[in-house]
Chain A
Amino acid sequence: MRMWAQSHLCQKPQRVSSVLAAAFALIFLILGSQSASALPAFARKYGLRCSACHESWPALNNFGLKFRDNGYQLMNDRDAPIWQNPGYWPVTFRITPIWHRLSSLQQVDTYTSGIASPTGSTAARISSSGFDLSGLDFHTGGTLEKNISFYVLPSSDSTGSFHFESVNARLDNIGGSPWLNLRVGRFELNNLLSEKRTLWLSGNGGIYQTYHFIPVGDGNIFGQMGDNQLGMEYLGHSVDDRTRVSASLLSSSDGNVNLSTGANSYSGFFTFDQGFDTGKLGTQRIGAYAFVGEAATYYPTNSSGGTGAVPIPGSGIGNKGFSRVGFYGQFYLGPHFDLNVVTQHGEDNAWFGQGYGNAIASDGNGGATATCSSPANGPNCPLNNTPGTTLPAGSRSPIWNGYTFEARYVYSPQLIFKAVYEAERMQQQATPGTVSSLGNINNYSIGYRYNPFMTSRAGFAYFGEFNLFHQDGTGPVNAAGNTTNVNTSELLFGLDFDF
């Protein structure tokens, strides 16, 4: 009994010390965990912090741009994979838990007292909020050997449906020259203001409208600079990356695989930009781009299934032209503030303007369903430029201009404030008499990203943003029978991390 008592008395402090030890261990674990997390692929390879390459992850700064242009190499002797621990696996994943509130006008049924079924419809604002998820990205990339690099990005939507967002291999510094780099596969076009590295995550704010603008009723989905494209890219740059030039030969498929669209339609994307040192202000960069090409408007069909004239994948002919040209500017006003500007002058062939173009691709005009013989057959019916088709009288090329301004205030490498304004303006509608402003867009976003820690091991940020999107004349029909404008807003907060 006495022994038990002694033992019991002795046990009490032991229990206390165990609790204390556990508490200390927990504290050290928490404190230590900041640098002990798993490793983003490139940062852990070179031991550089995220901020070395990213103004704020994932947007690149000039050093990161040079690193990318060199094929994910720093151009020292540590680039080849032989320098890596055999256990090194260059994979990073990213998924973003968020809370957001969406508000938009939608077509809503209306009821009359005493009648249970809808008696009409009108435009009404629907607002909803809740916790949500982004899609999941698996980034894997790096060097297979010195000057041979790759990038693979399987990406899912928020329901887990995967596709290959990027898959490409690169031959870098061919012949020892930074002016000769070739890339083949599916890749982001060489846009100075990268949409794939955008700091924005809301539905309308997360893309650049200028890169995706399509006039109302236009059937050409193939000129979207923001979508990753399939093709081959030449890139050349000076040693310090101040001068950059690129030319890409692309399938006019908007990045869709399996040769599912045109039989032989290609487009080209060309860029040039030049950086200038301006003393204490930093490096200013200006450039220009041109995206010109052709895409199919006529798809031979097969009606034997009894479901109508179904276009045959990959058969598209009757190519018509399109173009997107514009300027880039990246202006630094000291170490804290920068302004990115993109302009665009876009033009589609009149056939596209009348809705011909995409009868196959799943992300456009309705997919490979039966086509229509006339635009009057329905707004969701893919049009097909079958032999004998004629354009409505007076049809002409839709022409528009776009402007994107993105300002960033970098308080520190860990905290950034940001704002975007975009304007898309129709210059010429495809059909005479159409309201001149139909389809015009104003898009505003403001937000912040805060990285509570910054290491080369993992990326983590609290972020918040607010987006307002307005488009003329494409909203639901109100009770008076008039088409309203689209006015949507989104407030979004979340935790962004890569691991």
Chain B
Amino acid sequence: MHTNLLKWSLLLSAVVALCLSAVSYAQLTTNQQQEWLNSPAASSHVGNLSGSAHAAALPYRRYCVGCHGPLGDGVGENAPWINPQPRNFQLAIFKCRSTPTGTLPTDQDLYDSIGRGLDRSNMPSWNVLTKQERTDLVAWIKHFSPRWQNEKPGTPIQIPAEPEITPDRVKAGQEVFRKMECWKCHGVQGMANGPSSSTLTDDLGRPISPFNFTDGSRPLCGSTDSDIYKIFMTGLDGTPMPSFADNIKPEEAWDLVFYLRSLQPHNAYNAKERQIANQLGLKPVNPNAPAQ
């Protein structure tokens, strides 16, 4: 009888403890975020627009919460069914930035991501929202993480003017691709089948695929030449794609842009690059070739 009583007491205590801990965790998190919601960091500035996190509560609940979750932790009700997983705003680690690796993005970076959407993910373009709504949502995103309370966004990298494309530049870009070992993930033909491609994981240990330049996908952070330049000069934080800002010079980065363009199927941006690549008869990168 005593044994039974003990057993039931333990069971009941465990259930109560579990419930209390769950409640207190949620309470703590909610309280923290309420505090951050009222902090100066929970605002945004994009062009002439000023955004307020408070104003975005309704749009966030309407459009975003199903994936990103009420607490912005990326575990909304749809998260288990989505690959790649929704962004965890509490970590404040963002792929698409104009700022150096490891730093916070600018408000404009977040605004652009919302409006552009992220191809090869479930994140659609929200350009149908008004500019004010998108600016408010930027402020809302920032209220989820303590990083915004303590850190300033990084300084956007300088992107030099795009040089004239020449056959020499496309060839030089291929050499950068080889030298920086881009092929290890992206493959010697840019088909996302490099020797490391199947082993890649993001910072949270989730499998992740490199970008396939040849299947017509839009680059994750924008389709212009400058957007591509930014990707390898800032890196995609939270993924295995590093920043090469310390390893290649700006003119080499432009060469790489031109070469990568030549790998893509015909699109609105790469007619000249493809023509040059055809004229040159470029072959796939040879990983074992001596450095030029």
The chain A residues found within 8 Å of chain B, CB to CB, are 13, 35, 46-49, 51-52, 61-63, 65-66, 74-78, 239-241, 277-280, 282-283, 335-336, 410, 412-413, 455-457
Contacts and interface: CB of A to CB of B under 8 A. Distances in A.
A76 B121 CA distance: 8
A35 B77 contact: yes
B77 A63 contact: no
Interface in B109-140: 117-133
B128 A66 contact: yes
B128 A62 contact: yes
B130 A456 contact: no
Contact of B130 (A46, A51, A282): A282
Interface stretch (B36-44, B56-64, B242-250, B282-290): B56-64
Given A63-B126, A456-B78, A48 B58 contact: no
A413 B62 CA distance: 6
A410 B218 CA distance: 36
Interface string B31-75: 000000000000000000000000100110111011100000000
Nearest to B217: A77
A64 to B, nearest CB: 9
Contact of A455 (B55, B66, B126): B66
A47 B62 CA distance: 13
Nearest to A282: B130
Contact of B77 (A51, A66, A455): A455
Contacts of B65: 49
Contacts of A335: 55, 58-59
Given A66-B128, A239-B127, A240-B128, 11 more contacts: A13-B4, A13-B8, A46-B122, A48-B124, A51-B63, A65-B128, A75-B124, A76-B120, A282-B133, A412-B58, A413-B62
Nearest to B63: A52
27 contacts: A35-B77, A47-B66, A48-B63, A49-B63, A51-B61, A52-B66, A63-B126, A66-B128, A74-B117, A76-B119, A76-B124, A76-B125, A77-B218, A78-B121, A78-B122, A240-B128, A277-B132, A279-B130, A279-B132, A280-B132, A283-B130, A335-B59, A412-B58, A412-B61, A413-B58, A413-B61, A457-B77
| 5 nearest CB pairs, A to B | A47-B78, A74-B124, A49-B66, A51-B62, A413-B62
B54 to A, nearest CB: 11
B45 to A, nearest CB: 15
Contacts of A239: 127
A239 B4 CA distance: 68
A363 B128 CA distance: 39
Which of the listed residues B118, B120, B121, B129 has the most CB atoms from chain A within 10 Å of its own CB?
A: B129
Nearest to A55: B62
Contacts of A412: 58, 61
Interface residues of B, number: 34
A17 B62 CA distance: 42
Nearest to B268: A176
B82 interface: yes
Contacts of A336: 58
Contacts of A74: 117, 124-125
A46 B55 contact: no
Nearest to B56: A335
A166 B264 CA distance: 40
Nearest to A457: B77
Contacts of B120: 76-77
B136 to A, nearest CB: 9
Nearest to B64: A52
A455 B119 CA distance: 23
Contacts of A457: 77
A343 to B, nearest CB: 26
B43 to A, nearest CB: 14
Contacts of B121: 76, 78
B122 A47 contact: yes
Contacts of A76: 117-125
A280 B58 contact: no
A61 B63 CA distance: 11
A263 to B, nearest CB: 44
Contacts of B129: 62-63
Contacts of A52: 62-63, 66
B212 to A, nearest CB: 11
Contacts of A241: 128
Contacts of B117: 74, 76
Nearest to A453: B77
Nearest to A35: B77
